[in-house]
Copies of this chain bind each other. A is one copy, B any other.
Amino acid sequence: MRPLLSWAGRRAVLARTYSPGPSAGYRGASGAQGYVRNPPVGTCDLQGELDRFGGISVRLARLDALDRLDAAAFQKGLQAAVQQWRSEGRTAVWLHIPILQSRFIAPAASLGFCFHHAESDSSTLTLWLGEGPSRLPGYASHQVGVAGAVFDESTRKILVVQDRNKLENMWKFPGGLSEPGEDIGDTAVREVFEETGIKSEFRSLLSIRQQHTNPGAFGKSDMYIICRLKPYSFTINFCQHECLRCEWMDLNDLAKTENTTPITSRVARLLLYGYREGFDKIDLAVEELPAVHTGLFYKLYHKELPDNYKTMKGID
């Protein structure tokens, strides 16, 4: 069982002012913050920043005379610096490299560094110096897709589409991948509008699916979330690029048809149950709460909780 950053450890880091370097803590590590300048080696003088977990973070963009530095001199300097950091008992090295300076990646890799992640115009490499296997936190592990089950209670009709690119024409709910920083409900409303032209508003979260080693997620896992939406426009104007068909279908028909995916069928039956027995039986309500310490807010989803339990007034 590979040791992993614990949520507890991670929250502990979030609980403090964020400092550059490893963006999350690693189990059992500790150290004071500060700057470490090791003696010049050849033409390369690496300045690292010490994080609270005893790791060193080096930002190449901050190095002097970076453009004149060749890969061999960098490798020599990095090798010496790593030796020193190891002797000082540092736990890890984080190397942040601008994409146009990527000639320094292979030399670092030859010293044992590997990619932690890369995005847009920079990459981050890591080298674990601590005991045992690396305890550094991983990068994002899931893609998040959201579908909108747009249900019109007054007509018992549900909005369904058939994909243009699919081999078989199966009815399903419109949906798509979350954009960076986008809330679940906002993704559902946006994707429904982009695909079908229907305007809607978030009502509840109905179901979550987790799937791994997903080719459509570049080998990562994906989380697929289905929301209940209420329509406030009804004229379909669907995206010809994506959809072959788009209809308002009777919920009973969708719950019974074989011309759909297992997850769509299941959610249709869940909706039928909620429609007949009360949506409180199937809905997860959403609430925005303040995050501790960080000044951020987050959305929390769970079954509706009676007010007296929320406040604990009169509960003993």
Contact = CB atoms under 8 A, between A and B. Distances in A.
Interface of A: 1-16, 18, 23-25, 27-28, 30, 71, 99-103, 105-106, 109-110, 114-124, 137-147, 161, 163-168, 170, 172, 174-181, 183-184, 190-191, 194-195, 205-221, 223-224, 239, 241-243, 252, 255-256, 261-263, 266-267, 269-270, 272-273, 281-282, 284, 289-294, 296, 298-303, 305-306, 309-310, 312, 315-316
Contacts of A241: 27-28
B208 A8 contact: no
A13 B123 contact: no
Copies of the protein in its oligomer: 2
B147 A7 contact: yes
A272 to B, nearest CB: 6
A251 B4 CA distance: 29
Contacts of A299: 209-211
Given A28-B242, A118-B123, A272-B315, 14 more contacts: A5-B176, A7-B175, A15-B167, A16-B167, A25-B165, A100-B109, A115-B120, A140-B220, A180-B220, A207-B301, A211-B291, A211-B298, A266-B305, A269-B310
Among A165, A282, A305: residue with most chain B CB under 10 A: A165
A216 B289 contact: no
A190 B284 contact: no
B281 A303 contact: yes
Contacts of A293: 167
A300 B208 contact: yes
A101 B71 CA distance: 13
A185 B309 CA distance: 26
A207 B302 contact: yes
A102 B105 CA distance: 6
Given A177-B4, A252-B316, A215 B13 contact: yes
B109 A106 contact: no
A184 to B, nearest CB: 6
A30 B242 CA distance: 11
A4 B179 contact: yes
Given A118-B117, A209-B298, A138 B180 contact: yes
A221 B144 CA distance: 10
B282 A303 contact: yes
A15 B118 CA distance: 28
Given A166-B15, A216-B13, A242 B105 contact: no
B208 A208 contact: yes
A236 B293 CA distance: 29
A260 to B, nearest CB: 10
Contacts of A296: 211-214
A119 B117 contact: yes
The 4 closest A-B pairs by CB, nearest first: A12-B165, A118-B118, A102-B105, A28-B241
A190 B293 CA distance: 27
Contacts of A2: 179
Given A4-B177, A23-B219, A139 B115 contact: no
